[in-house]
Amino acid sequence: MKRHILSAAALVLVASLAQAESGSAAKSGAKANTLASGIALQYVEPSVRPQDDFFEHLNGKWLKTVEIPADKSSWGAFHQLREDTLPQLRAIIEKAAGAKGANGSEVQKIGDFYASYMDEARLEQLGITPLNGELAKIAAVKDKAELPALFARLGRLGVNTPFVFYIHQDAKDSTKYVADLYQAGLGMPDRDYYLKQDDAKLADIRAKYQQHVEKMLAMAGDKNAAANAKAIVELETELAKVQWTKVENRDPVKTYNKVELAKLAELAPGYDWQSWLAASGLKGKADYLIVSQPSYVKGFAEVLNRVPLETWKTYLQLHLVESYANYLSKAFVDERFAFNGTTLSGTPQLEARWKRGVSTLEGSLGEAVGKLYVKEHFPAERKARMEVLVKNLLAAYKSSIDTLDWMSPATKKEAQAKLAKFTPKIGYPNKWKDYSALTVKREDLVGNVMRSREVEYNRELNKLGKPIDRDEWGMTPQTINAYYNPELNEIVFPAAILQPPFFDAKADDAVNYGGIGAVIGHEISHGFDDQGSQYDGDGNMRNWWTEEDGKKFAEKTKVLINQYAGYSPLPGYNVNGELTLGENIGDNSGLAIAYKAYKLSLKGKKAPVINGLTGDQRFYMGWGQVWRTKMREPAQIAQIKTDPHSPGQYRANGTLKNQPGFYEAFGVKEGDKMYLAPKDRVIIW
């Protein structure tokens, strides 16, 4: 999206809060029927049995009638909530733009940044000139020895270079920050787009990418654009050959390679690491790096030596222009969208400029906007309600660990110790980001973006040598998502996700436990998925499993890999069961824990029947409608290749097939298409 038994009274508090919100304030089971079911029954397709295809049964009429908006590559609950939130953010931002706040204030910065984005006439006048200074620096390079410092310089500006670094906690010493070197530098989403020769769709995208590169270079003034475009695609193909796959990059042990700065030369002989370290700002701030993909760094150095300097220069010019194209004149915006939006994602129409302006501003002053959003759109009672839900799910998880029949007492003790150290973060940060270092000018969009990227770069760099900031958030409050961070052992739920269909204050609890409850359970479960389970409660990568329990866990996850690998949303494109394993564990375990929490919340009472649906049926329908999704074919291919999440229909159906409660709720029997034999069902947590 990115766990002690509580008293039964605490576990039903959400129900009483929901009733109070709806005005029912009822204590009797009968009056609970005044609450809505929260299920979008108008989308149910009765001709499809829930026992055969639950996703299609629940969402069939929606799937048949709803068109993906022309400016979207996909559409569903997450997208609808984002679309609903955008006008709220626009109103906040435009109010700031008209307020003329004191110079240097956040209001001034929000208003002037947005105004600089919306001033299309000025951007048309400027064309590519805002990038002339950086383009000239690239053109002035006379020797490959100058490239490391140039890579570092462009990295500060957010330009895609062959490798990047990011700052995070050291996975083997969670009390300190470390810089992690990571492979990068491709213009297409994944190495498969360059290397898979037996895929006609990817071959077509490759050809269109080269045409796009040629157009971008020509627009930037390159008189040899055709030849240079071909050379750039060949260069990126060589980088793709030595990059690790997304499945390999999921392994936290294999990607933890501690290298002292003095020994970097052994990893990539001939590369001027000292120059790169000095220009990147790492020199004097770190004694070592974590190199995620050592063989890639070695392979990159070989590519660097083989490829002519002029190709590297045009490659960097291309990626500079690509990185800033959205902030230039219309011709650059349109060409970038033609490839990245239409070719890669199938989106026929560019979003309205104000929407893109809001998103750009969020990328630069996200928490400043979030502070205003929370003030206007996130009442305190929502946070209180969410805190109760999180406590309920953590309590259910604790209870579940105790009852596992496949885990030994020794490992259970460690799991409980980790669960007890979980830190929930709900709604918004306790401490907001400081944007005082950012200078914003009303007539300088590219400069605003550059300065914003450098401020964030320096903010990250300056963490080195400092204590861990446990108040920091990785998402803004207005983000429709959630996450788990294994290094901080935290689960984070931004304010904006606490809305229907995830949480409906006017609905009976069943749908809310199936929606937001399962999202909470999902994030908790990431602490115990195949990656998260390799970290302890302090955020250190440590094997806390007995050897036997580790084998049992691996056996269960292998079955899950095979299950999802059998799902195919498009002919010839199957879900990657290994890439999606962590998220699939999160879905399956999260829904199972949410169901236990829901049953506990009933405190032994029978759930009301609403619209002819039992509480258990509404619970699972709450889950199924959250993943209501339609996706354009190119976007579906990109998701399969790059996204660790399974497509929506399999997050719904694939998860339900493993839930014993689902079989009971809908009478699923052998012979039904949703049926899995008990021995084939994966029940982990």
Which strands make up the sheet holding 490-494, listed edge to edge? 423-427, 490-494, 483-485
The residue with tokens 């009429």 is 61
Residue spans of beta strands (DSSP E) within 119-246: 163-170, 173-183
- From 330, 350, 370, the end of a domain falls on 350
**Residue 103 maps to a domain:** no
**Residue 234 maps to a domain:** yes
Q: What is the mean pLDDT of each run of 10 residues along the chain (685 residues)?
A: 26 26 31 74 97 98 97 96 96 87 87 96 98 98 97 98 97 97 98 96 98 98 97 98 97 97 91 96 95 98 97 98 98 98 98 98 97 94 87 93 94 97 96 97 97 98 96 96 96 92 89 95 95 96 96 95 97 96 96 95 94 97 96 96 96 98 98 97 92
**Residue 472 maps to a domain:** yes
**Residue 584 maps to a domain:** yes
**Residue 112 maps to a domain:** no
Strands 288-291 and 258-260: antiparallel
473: CATH = 3.40.390.10
Q: Are residues 444 and 369 both part of a single domain?
A: yes
220: CATH = 1.10.1380.10
Tokens of 520: 């909470």
- What's the pLDDT at 499? 86
Burial class (CB in 10 A: 0-12, 13-18, 19+), 342: middle
Q: Are residues 570 and 663 both part of a single domain?
A: yes
**Residue 109 maps to a domain:** no
- From 350, 370, 395, the end of a domain falls on 350
Tokens of 494: 């931004």
- What's the pLDDT at 506? 86
Q: Are residues 385 and 292 both part of a single domain?
A: no
- What's the pLDDT at 7? 19
Q: Are residues 324 and 372 both part of a single domain?
A: no
Q: Are residues 258 and 290 both part of a single domain?
A: yes
Among left, alpha and beta (phi > 0; psi -120 to 50; other), residue 349 is beta
Residue spans of beta strands (DSSP E) within 160-279: 163-170, 173-183, 258-260
> Whole-model pTM?
0.92
Q: Are residues 375 and 237 both part of a single domain?
A: no
**Residue 421 maps to a domain:** yes
Q: Are residues 305 and 437 both part of a single domain?
A: no
Q: Are residues 590 and 626 both part of a single domain?
A: yes
Q: Are residues 393 and 531 both part of a single domain?
A: yes
- What's the pLDDT at 358? 98
- From 319, 350, 381, the end of a domain falls on 350
- What's the pLDDT at 34? 64
Q: Map residue 569 onto helix, strand or coil.
A: coil
For 218, 240, 311, 312, the CA distances from 236, given in Å and listed in that order, are: 19, 6, 11, 10
For 81, 161, 316, 319, 388, the CA distances from 228, given in Å and listed in that order, are: 43, 17, 12, 13, 59
For 124, 225, 296, 609, the CA distances from 133, given in Å and listed in that order, are: 18, 20, 31, 68
Q: Are residues 430 and 316 both part of a single domain?
A: no
Query: For residues 133 and 114, what is the distance between their CA atoms, to the nearest angstrom?
Result: 24
Q: Are residues 510 and 369 both part of a single domain?
A: yes
Domain carrying residue 156: 129-350
**Residue 121 maps to a domain:** no
Q: Are residues 336 and 417 both part of a single domain?
A: no
**How many domains does the chain fold into?**
2
